Structure 1
Amino acid sequence: MPLTPTQLERHARHIVLPEIGGVGVARLSAAHVVLVGMGGIGCPALQYLAGAGIGRLTLIDDDTIDLSNLQRQTLFTPGDVGQPKAQVAANWVRSFDPELTVSAIAERITPANASALLTGASVILDGTDNFATRLLVSDTATDLHIPLVSAAIGRFQGQIGTFRGWLSDAPCYRCFVGDAFDAEDCDTCAEQGVLGAMVGLIGSFAAMETVRAITGFGEDPKSKLHLFDGLKPLWRTLRIAKDPACKACGDGAPAA
């Protein structure tokens, strides 16, 4: 589908990048990205994905805005306190670019609804703050054969990776963390604390990796996990091996 004159002007700085170009912008316009979690990571990620012209955005978060969120969740203002995060974020998208399609789902993602909520996505971006939800999202993405950009933060550390666990030579997120964190009572940033600027850094990185997954620019991020230590500061990249015993994508995983 050809780009409109508005899209050509609005996305000119992407179009002139040979690694993206008009074809890449068209792919972004046709893509559907589901963001799970509209907190610290989801806010900056959404801003850059909307800026990139992602044609359809689905925002999933059952939480409401609290005054303590404003330290890092930059889409929200004091006047939004008490309102659903997903709905306020969706309203921002509509104001920012009326040509984008956005849906707000103010529900908690659960084993009962995960498949229905995530089916049809081009990419899933998970910025939730607990292992149980991240593992559920990962298992569902693997089952549905949807690329997963998984981003997490805590205190002064951040991590991000793109997972395609259904591939024979690629790990899923569960290959990385194992089965020990499925419980709902794992630590969140409310208990650990988090540096506000860290979420901007990691959320922007997550948006970049989502754009990479859609357009294919640069190197394949398969099997790579990027870690950032804000105290040093230092980036490092780890290689993650596929776990043959992984219950989501290993040899004994249920057939898709």
Structure 2
Amino acid sequence: MSSFAKPGSEEQELKWAWIWFKQFCAFHRRAVEREREFSADEVIAFLRSKRDANVPAWKRMKVIEGLIVFRESVQHRNPADLLPLRETMRGIVSIERAKSEGYDTIDDVVGKIDPKEPDAIQEFRRALRRGGMALRTERTYVGKLKNFMADRGLTCLADFERIGAADVEAHLTDLAVDGNVAPSTQNVSFHSLLKFFTLVLKREMGKIEAIRATKKPMTPTVLGPKEIAGVFEGLSGVHLTIAKL
């Protein structure tokens, strides 16, 4: 079975492999010789120099990957001693990404969940984090699921056995009719529940034909020249000066 790849991806990999190898050689003050062997310890020293120069983890990962490609495709040698470095760097990349997205530790990315939350919410959080969902998106989706659970009187994952498309449709219709929400809010609720059905319940949500929200966004009122002049006529002193600024 063939796989998809960007056009010229192998050429790009080799190009960057040479770039990183040349930088690696410059760091160790040695001539750029394609057959020159290099060790994992030498790669670690190079990576530490990048880290100390505030090069982000994802880019340091590119360095490792480039040197692995160089070892395999240019030198035609076994890169086995470099593979553990790549695995370690993957963990470091995950930690940096987690912190940049608001998680305190890497445990928060997948496993550290508030045990006081309903099991349905806990499972939803885990599923979203495994998929690499951004923290703010997770919070939004979880909030919509909590609203749905409150609306339908659900307290745990087992309660969802009786929940289907009709319940989702009723909830979304209520948002449009009684909640008077904007279309974007209704859409987010729909996609949140769709994610939950797909990732946690592992079943199709079914066809949804809810009444669509039609609330228009608030548009600021702009006064015309005559109306502005009328406002000015009713002001004086400091208030008039401020209004004209």
> TM-score when scaled to structure 2?
0.19
Structure with bigger helix share is: 2
> TM-score when scaled to structure 1?
0.19
Higher relative contact order (CA 8 A, sep 6+): 1
